[in-house]
Structure 1
């Protein structure tokens, strides 16, 4: 009886509650006395309870939901940066009884022929996502009121997961220390914005990266932002993606596609831009694209960012637009997270790191609704440091060389243009450096020249303005064709013409791999011929080291800080080394389409491969690897209060500077590319197809240049010994690598056996140092599985040069 009574009372309570919810003016009654924010989705702030009540007057109508991180952690390695965008979701609210569900339909699988039955079949075949469930607080007709507090105060950006994945601690969200951030909780006619200050607690196992940036590891307070955004109208026309054009985009499977056509549909990401007069060669835009530079960026940095970003106007002019692209300063009262603003943000971290360009993109069509650039503030200081190392500018009694600041600001202009390019939809183009720096979408190494007097010249360190590829890419993505023009044919002809002009496009996957095959695509390289440029870079490095000394740091700076300046100069050739390595066992290719006349694949000529190998072997010579005595003697251990950083050379000598560890890391770097299992497999394959330069020949030349070279004396001799041991390490590791091709492991095993005979001869040498080195090598042959190249001292961090390309970053 008691159980029946309780059930009755519960039912009665529910009926009364629903009755109260559905009374006329129930929402007005519920929200009486609360602060109302009118706009896209009206909402109410309850000061007494700290809650936000959301008024939903658009049930079952799709909109965009975007989360972001307006106030970050400040650690590049963890990656929770100020201004970081989260995902973009097409969602809708659906009322089911006393609940309102926030549902995200599946955009990856569609039926686009307008047949409701087919659309329903696809929708029922794949999962959708219910992102949240809200309790109805009041109802007026088709409008409902829900408590959105828990939804908006949750960890939508997955801060807890990001810290955990970085192995920096186990944190949890503390609701008692979290609240809404009202200064940036606003409403507008087409978008509703919420912001919350969230505190994450724990910290018992906080890692060093967290300790570096947090005032207390016990509590980390960041801000997260939520945007509800009205979907754009249906007047936007998607543009088909072409692999030769270099655009990001969207893709989905359309199950209503005829069987004889591709079921996968791909469209580029781009802003909406239309000519007022599509038939005119030059026309103003119906609505220009406008970007805003963060007013927090100081001068002269702000002007450099403005200048670089404005370069894109040149590309839109080349596409036939007048005043269609503009860059201004962000108004002081504007919120950078507001979807109405395309922004270039100035982001601070505790260490140098990546900059990147992201966007809010309509997942249905690929239309970019907001471009969002994040530029790391410490990068300009790294460029300045490189210039200090190259110029040795602090001669007593003379002012600092202004070329350092010019070079650093020139890089900032290029960086601003580069990252903004990503937010226009454009990918990296790593083949641009071989075509007269044809694109800002490459990663540029400073172009440093030597004058006829042998002086270092930084006047052309970075290119200025749009390259020819950039103009072609913008024309492909944004050209507005007149009526009657066959768009597909016109775009195809545009790309064919670009190819005929020698413009190339190769992007990330092909350029980033250390075992990569493309001889003309790499990050941070220069020059039409990689091998020639490596020799030039080595000459610049040699000149910089010859003049390296007291003039590389300011008066009053601790002498130990010379090591900071030395690192990027000693390793100045590192990126060109990787570029040249791709020529060895290289295969040239393009993203060719059937019938377009582009190169499909072609082996790199043997003469070019041999030239590249010889240039790489030069980087293993003791005279290149060994630092001179006058530099070594100038660098003491760090003084108290100046802690060592990861930017310095690793050491085996304790606190004192270790020139041999620097040499070891540099030599290991070159060898890691030459012995890469993918490169080794291609060398075997290319020789089987008729090439005279195969894996055997490459290994023989490496052994001749190291183990069989004339033995040097002094520090160069010690450098030679460690290089020889590194070669053995890589040979043994390759012979034991289960991921390497059998033919590669077989050849490595053969060369190990041949080297063993040579080592036995060296073990009988009258020179104790030579004898000891050979005996150690023979000892190591007994335990080949212990040979692990990654155990050797690593190079200090390199990329990004000038400061960790995500949506897109550099």
Structure 2
């Protein structure tokens, strides 16, 4: 056996030695043949490329090897549906990449920026680099080489679905689609090379089936839809930028990574804020001109008077930079005719159209290594302003034949656009939302503003101060932290800490999306679309505004000659005018004030909302369930006819009724009531009430809340007529919501137990005749509760009443 092993080993050695010898004898591979670009269209710039029209190919010159550059993708032309989120201008993620030459190939490699070693020691940096995976995003075959520059065929890299659009469509259950290369091609008008970036755009087509309603509503044929995807290669900034540390209290966005060169006694994770590079010409001066100002360019396709409003609102930011020590550091201009919005040197504000109203966005292209903002890109949805006009229409419109339309409606809409432009540009300057600002004298444009409507002494409504004008005090503070340049010799860490302390002394605070968006969230002053220092007092005011406007509601709210059925679109935002302030007031119940406190900064980390304040909020919220609030005025009950021929309703914008083609007079009450109930009976709020009461007995517990709710509805006595019908709708929804909570697996056992116990008490009251709810509703309630007690798994409950879209489309996206 040993002889056989030796023989086999000898033979194998001979074979491999022979092969190696043959390879050694072979002549070295010749250089790639010369490549002719004759007849091709050349685009010279950051990465020069050639377009071969005959073969439909893109040839890319690569001469920058082992040098970092930025690559990102974006959607150049969108679907036109806010729900799908595939909007014109949507950005993909940034990737720091480098081209690496490996024999006949060029690899496009993305090093791992999440794990680094900020050290002068090359071996220490290499140890981290080799510990974590990197990503090879593409491999190119070298076609020719000359003077260290190679030519590669970039066509396969470009001709693909880089944004994974079918995945987005599939997640939305809007159909099954796949990329169709036979119907896709390079889009030459938007494929260009600039001094600091090279851009490619591709027309991409997707084919498929089972298209959903969102897709069908915006494409000519649901069998195939075509959009354009964009590839960007951008020169990264030089190393002259100085990163600034992140502070959670400062209200500035950040990047983060792990630095394995960090001393053991310091945090491993590093965080830098995101900001544009801005430097003073005279660093010693308290106020100085900038070396280079920050300039934003507005889409010239924006119509007047919207264009002027957007430019005015954007220009407000110069106020903040002046407060930070810069003179004329921020400008807004109309994009010149000879400029291209793709050029990375231009910060742009785009005016984007969709089939439905939707969010606007402020996005930035950021150097992932340092947090430096390279380019700001704002997307403003064109239909948003029409919703603001509709709100004003419901409040003050009085269309009369031969008379001019009230100027207040347009003034309110343009005021909102100024604020919107400032808000979205603020995101591209590095600022996140600040949702506590509306309770601190409208301190920031980075909040979501609800129109402030005042009531005149004669009972009329006043929209003159609907939206704030100019940059707020918090915005100036945040820009100061991000951009202020301190005199030479200043300890920057101490100076930044002092800015934070100044904010606290001046009563300026910062809390953002994570604290505002969840319906079950706890802070009583952090919410979207609210106003006023007191959520409860503002709810009282908003309900008065709503009452005045509803009493005045009539045919004069739409122009003469408009179908009366379209009054419903005007009615919806007016009837639900209190919806966001109700959400804000609900956070007072089981509420807790807190800050992003750091140890030693002197801030109070948390405090429960006082019991009497919580009970006042509960009482005000329960009023929103009263027939006196929810019932439509008699003048409205018989005002809205079915839709006429040719006027299809957008059912997301109107109440979902149960009466067929006719307007359902009970549907508005059902939608508004269910909103309040979803807030009061939220499982997180219920659990918090129990936990807080256990710590402080003076605070209401969940039992107190449910008892008050049943007292205000089922046990309040039987109304008659239309008001009685509204009351039955509310009572039924209270029952359904309690049953849902009692069977909700995500609720705590204690919350489910309380809900079940209160249902059993309700059953006893119904059986003993202590509640006069009407025979049919009483029978339904008893049957449902008994089914719950016997076999809760088999309990079938109706879906909650659908509330029309609102902010501005009812989704939880980021934007304004």
**Which of 312, 337, 359 is matched with 1:307 structurally?**
312
Unmatched runs of 5 consecutive residues or more in structure 1 = none
Asked if the contact 2:185/2:204 (under 8 Å) is kept, the reply is yes
Q: Does 1:795 align with 2:803?
A: yes
Q: Distance in 2 between matches of 1:288 and 1:235?
A: 16
Q: Distance in 2 between matches of 1:133 and 1:459?
A: 60
1:42 equivalent in structure 2? 48
Q: How does 1:710-721 map to 2 (within 5 A)?
A: 710-721=717-728
Q: Does 1:381 align with 2:383?
A: no
Deviation at 1:200, TM superposition (A): 1.7
SS at match of 2:51: strand
**Which of 124, 129, 133 is matched with 1:127 structurally?**
133
Deviations 1:251-278 (A, max 9, x none): 0011111111000000100000011112
Q: Does 1:183 align with 2:183?
A: no
Asked if the contact 1:184/1:335 (under 8 Å) is kept, the reply is no
Asked if the contact 2:392/2:412 (under 8 Å) is kept, the reply is yes
Distance 1:16 1:727, change over 3 A: farther
Mean alpha-carbon deviation: is it higher for 737-746 or for 228-237? 737-746
**Which of 760, 775, 780 is matched with 2:779 structurally?**
775
2:702 equivalent in structure 1? 695
Distance 1:539 1:18, change over 3 A: farther
Q: Does 1:584 align with 2:589?
A: yes
Deviations 1:670-716 (A, max 9, x none): 01110111111111111111233111111111111001102111111
2:285 equivalent in structure 1? 280
SS at match of 2:636: helix
Q: Does 1:670 align with 2:676?
A: yes
- TM-score calculated relative to the size of structure 2: 0.94
1:213 equivalent in structure 2? 218
Q: How does 1:69-218 map to 2 (within 5 A)?
A: 69-202=75-208, 204-218=209-223
Deviation at 1:503, TM superposition (A): 0.8
1:342 equivalent in structure 2? 347
Q: Does 1:724 align with 2:731?
A: yes
Query: Structure with the greater relative contact order (CA < 8 A, sep ≥ 6): 1 or 2?
Result: 1
Q: Distance in 1 between matches of 2:771 and 2:121?
A: 85
SS at match of 1:292: strand
Q: Does 1:19 align with 2:30?
A: yes
Asked if the contact 1:632/1:657 (under 8 Å) is kept, the reply is no
Deviation at 1:787, TM superposition (A): 6.3
Aligned-pair RMSD on alpha carbons? 1.9
1:364 equivalent in structure 2? 369
Q: How does 1:271-670 map to 2 (within 5 A)?
A: 271-645=276-650, 646-670=652-676
Q: Distance in 2 between matches of 1:143 and 1:38?
A: 14
Unmatched runs of 5 consecutive residues or more in structure 2 = 1-14
Mean alpha-carbon deviation: is it higher for 220-229 or for 333-342? 333-342
Asked if the contact 1:762/1:770 (under 8 Å) is kept, the reply is no
Q: Distance in 2 between matches of 1:787 and 1:513?
A: 27
Mean alpha-carbon deviation: is it higher for 438-447 or for 98-107? 98-107
Q: Distance in 2 between matches of 1:713 and 1:476?
A: 61
Q: Distance in 2 between matches of 1:668 and 1:229?
A: 50
Q: Distance in 1 between matches of 2:66 and 2:678?
A: 57
Asked if the contact 2:118/2:125 (under 8 Å) is kept, the reply is yes
SS at match of 2:580: helix
Distance 1:524 1:790, change over 3 A: farther
SS at match of 1:55: strand
Mean alpha-carbon deviation: is it higher for 216-225 or for 57-66? 216-225
Asked if the contact 1:763/1:774 (under 8 Å) is kept, the reply is no
Q: Distance in 2 between matches of 1:153 and 1:144?
A: 21
Q: How does 1:222-237 map to 2 (within 5 A)?
A: 222-237=227-242
SS at match of 2:333: strand
SS at match of 1:216: coil
Mean alpha-carbon deviation: is it higher for 512-521 or for 786-795? 786-795
Q: Distance in 1 between matches of 2:411 and 2:177?
A: 44
Deviation at 1:393, TM superposition (A): 2.0
Deviation at 1:549, TM superposition (A): 0.4
Distance 1:798 1:267, change over 3 A: same
Q: Distance in 2 between matches of 1:161 and 1:196?
A: 19
1:756 equivalent in structure 2? 763
Q: Distance in 2 between matches of 1:628 and 1:622?
A: 11
Deviation at 1:432, TM superposition (A): 0.4
Deviation at 1:140, TM superposition (A): 2.1
Q: Distance in 1 between matches of 2:576 and 2:812?
A: 22
Q: Distance in 2 between matches of 1:797 and 1:758?
A: 37
Q: How does 1:731-750 map to 2 (within 5 A)?
A: 731-750=738-757
**Which of 655, 660, 684 is matched with 2:690 structurally?**
684
Q: Distance in 2 between matches of 1:562 and 1:16?
A: 85
Deviations 1:434-454 (A, max 9, x none): 111000000000000110000
Deviations 1:324-345 (A, max 9, x none): 0000001223332321110111
Deviation at 1:110, TM superposition (A): 0.7
Distance 1:195 1:641, change over 3 A: same
Q: Distance in 2 between matches of 1:290 and 1:616?
A: 46
Deviation at 1:16, TM superposition (A): 11
- TM-score calculated relative to the size of structure 1: 0.95
Deviation at 1:18, TM superposition (A): 5.5
Asked if the contact 2:397/2:409 (under 8 Å) is kept, the reply is no
Distance 1:16 1:579, change over 3 A: farther
Q: Distance in 2 between matches of 1:175 and 1:777?
A: 59
Q: Distance in 2 between matches of 1:344 and 1:758?
A: 61
Distance 1:726 1:56, change over 3 A: same
SS at match of 2:359: coil
Distance 1:433 1:788, change over 3 A: farther
